[in-house]
Amino acid sequence: MHIVVCIKQVPDSAQIRVHPVTNTIMRQGVPTIINPYDLFALEEALRLKDKFGATVTVLTMGPPTAADSLRKTLTFGADRAVLLTDRYFAGSDTLATSYALSMALGKIAEEFGKPEIIFTGKQTIDGDTAQVGPGIAKRLGYNQLTYIARISEVDLDAATIRVERRAEGGVQDLVSSFPVLITMLEASNEMRRGTIENALGAARAEVVTWNAEAVGIEDLTKCGLRGSPTIVKKVFAPTARAEKAEIVEAEGGVDAKAAALVEAIFAKAPGIEGDLLELAGEHYV
């Protein structure tokens, strides 16, 4: 079995700061990480590898420095890393990103064998759209299984996979034939630790690096800013609320404070007291 995992190297957004005056992002010194959601996809691929035997190829589109994240996946046990990088990809939205990645996946299929399963994360923490996975699936004609909480069965002979998909109000028990694109739900598994052996290998491993031309992209207008139908026109900071919070103060101990707060809440939200009686009253008769 051949499995490809798509990962993205993202700025650790917990550490992003916005310049208080210019409202621009201060990127300097912000460390990059593997998109946390993609680790669930990677771990699931590695589990399938452990169980059924598989080659796991990891793919990312990004700047040359994204090779660091790829190497990291090798320390966990991925077999091969592919970096798609080209200045023409700069400014890609999800449509352009899924185009470029689908071309790279075509090339991967050609060079290393057609993947039965492509994994992506549920979403990225920087783009946060959850669109790239479905975009790739549609372009490659892979059956799309999103928000997968569990892979319950793989039947290699029948070439089918059975999964539990988180839907609104319940869980779908689904079966599909290969090839499929799966987006893994967060917390669906726990990422393993890398091994020293893999780490040593990873440091030496060669990252397969392709540009637009190498993956057969002839029409560059489908890439980057030019290939992106969405346009970001304005970036701005959320406005503060006009009034500040009314601060409740009370003399005395904590009970006095609590009583004052209850009064203040009922004063601010006059309707709530009636609601509360309906909702909670029966507990207290």
Partner 1 sequence: MAEDKKPAPAAGGRAQTKKELPEHFKAYKHVWVAVEIEHGQVHPVSFELLGEGRKLADKRGVELAAVVMGDDRESLEAAARAAFEYGADCAYLACDPALKHYRNEAATRVLTDIVNTYKPEILLLGATNLGRDLAGSVATTLQTGLTADCTELAIDEEGSLAATRPTFGGSLLCTIFTLNFRPQMATVRPRVLAMPEREEGRQGRIVEVTPGLVEDDIVTKVLDFIADRDSDQAQLPYADIVVAGGLGLGSVENFQLVKDLAEVLGAEYGGSRPLVQKGWITSDRQIGQTGKTIRPKLYIAAGISGAIQHRVGVEGADVIVAINTDPDAPIFAFAHLGIVADAVTLLPALTAAFAARLRVNRLAS
Residue 245 touches ligand FAD, criterion: CB under 6 A = no
d(CA 127, CA 274): 43
Binder of ligand FAD out of 14, 21, 240, 267 (CB under 6 A): 14
d(CA 149, CA 244): 42
Q: Cα dihedral sign for 31, 194, 208, 218?
A: negative
d(CA 43, CA 69): 15
5-24 residues near partner 1, rule: CB under 8 A: 13-14, 16-18, 23-24
**Partner from ligand FAD, partner 1, ligand AMP, none binding residue 38, C-beta < 5-8 Å depending on class:** ligand AMP
Q: Which residues contact 72 (CB under 8 A, 6 or more apart)?
A: 34, 194, 202
Residue 133 touches ligand AMP, criterion: CB under 6 A = yes
**Partner from ligand FAD, partner 1, ligand AMP, none binding residue 61, C-beta < 5-8 Å depending on class:** ligand AMP
Q: How far apart are the first and last CA of the chain?
A: 64
- CB 166 to ligand AMP: min, Å: 16
Residue 132 touches ligand AMP, criterion: CB under 6 A = yes
**Partner from partner 1, ligand FAD, ligand AMP, none binding residue 6, C-beta < 5-8 Å depending on class:** ligand AMP
**Partner from partner 1, ligand FAD, ligand AMP, none binding residue 7, C-beta < 5-8 Å depending on class:** ligand AMP
**Cβ(94)–Cβ(135) below 8 Å:** yes
The DSSP line for 91-149 is T--HHHHHHHHHHHHHHHHHHH---SEEEEES--SSS--S-HHHHHHHHHTPEEEEEEE
121-180 residues near ligand FAD, rule: CB under 6 A: 125
Residue 158 touches partner 1, criterion: CB under 8 A = no
What residue ranges bind ligand FAD (CB under 6 A)?
Answer: 13-14, 125
What residue ranges bind ligand AMP (CB under 6 A)?
Answer: 6-8, 35, 37-38, 59-62, 94, 97, 101, 120-121, 123-124, 127-133
